[in-house]
Amino acid sequence: MSNLELLNHPLFIGLDKQILPEALKLFCSTEKNLKKGEMIFHSGTTTEVMGFVLDGRIQIESTDYWGNKTIIDNLGSGKVFGETYALTGKPLMVDAVAVEDSKIMLLNPKKLFASNVGTDEINSILIKNILKISMNKNLHLSQRIFHTNSKTIRGRLLAYLSSCVSSKTPDTEFDIPYDRQQLADYLQVDRSALSTELSKMKADGLIDFWKNHFKLLHRD
Domain boundaries, the chain: 3-145, 150-216
The pLDDT confidence band at residue 16, using thresholds 50, 70 and 90, is confident
Per-residue pLDDT averaged across 72-80, rounded? 93
Q: Does domain 150-216 have CATH number 1.10.10.10?
A: yes
Read off the pLDDT of residues 178-193 as tens digits, 9 standing for 90 and up: 999 999 999 999 999 9
- Strands (E) across 17-100 are located at 30-34, 39-41, 50-55, 58-63, 69-75, 80-81, 95-98
- Give the separation between CA 104 and CA 80, rounded to whole angstroms: 10
- In angstroms, rounded to a whole number, what is the distance separating the alpha carbons of residues 180 and 115? 49
- Per-residue DSSP letter, 117: S
- Structural fold of domain 3-145: Jelly Rolls (2.60.120)
In this structure, the chain runs to a length of: 220
Amino acid identity of residue 203, one-letter, is A
What confidence tens digit (pLDDT) does each residue in 45-75 have?
999 999 999 999 999 999 887 888 899 999 9
